[in-house]
Amino acid sequence: MISWLFIGLVASVLLTPGPTNTLLASSGIRLGVRRSARLIPAEVLGYIIAITVWGTLIDTVSATLPILPTLLKLLSAFYIIFLAVKLWKTANVQLDLNQPAIRPRELFVATLLNPKALLFASAIFPVAAWVNWSIYAVHMGVFLALIVPIALFWTFIGSSLNTPKVRWLNQRNLQRTASLILVSFSIPLSYSALLSL
C-alpha cells in the first residue's frame, strides 16, 4: 500500500534545509539534542494541519478542475528541481544559526507556513488519501514515523556543528547530497505526472 517512492520523497524533502530544519539545527546548537526534542511535537502538529488542509482543499477544487492535481504534481517536480539547484549553489553559504532560542509555538508557525506542506499534499501523498480515511491514516502514519528521526537528525546536526570532531558532517556535504537525492526523486514524479496527462 505504501510505495518506496512515497517513503523516499518524504524522507528527501524532510531532509532538505528549510525554515523548520534551520530552526531545529539552531536549537541543537544552543540546547543540544535532548532539550531540543521538545520542539518535535510542534513540528509534527504543524505538518499534520498544513498537509491535511492543503490536501482537502486541493481535493475539493479538483472536482471542478480535474487537471489541477496533475498540474500541481508537475509544478512540485519543478519546485523540487529548483530546491536541488538552490541547495547545490548555496552549499558554501553558511546558514544563519545564530538565532535566539526557539520556542515550540514559533516552530509550529514556521512549519504551518512551510511550502513543503503544499508539496507533500499536492504531489507526494496519493490523491486517494484525501477521499479515503484509511489510506490517509496509513500514509500520515508513515510520514510521522519519518519526521521524528529526521527532526532529531537536524538537532544532532546543529549540536555537531559546535564540535570539529566530525569533519565530513558539514553543511556543504549535506546540501550537495540532498540536492542529488532531490533530483533523483523529481524524475519519477515528473514522469508519473506526464503519464496522467
In a domain, 77, yes or no: yes
Comparing 42 with 89, the larger pLDDT belongs to 42
Task: Of 3, 47, 1, 12, give the one whose Cα is nearest residue 192.
Answer: 3
pTM for the predicted model, two decimal places: 0.78
* 30: confidence class by pLDDT, cuts 50, 70, 90: confident
What are the E-state strand segments in the chain? none
Range of the domain at 93: 38-193
- 91, pLDDT greater than 80: no
**Sequence-ordered list of residues with C-beta below 8 angstroms from that of 148, at least 6 positions apart, any chain:** 40, 44
Higher pLDDT pick, 79 / 132: 132
Does 92 reside within a domain? yes
What's the total number of domains in the chain? 1
Q: Give residue for cell 558554501.
A: 92
User: Does residue 7 lie in a domain region?
Assistant: no
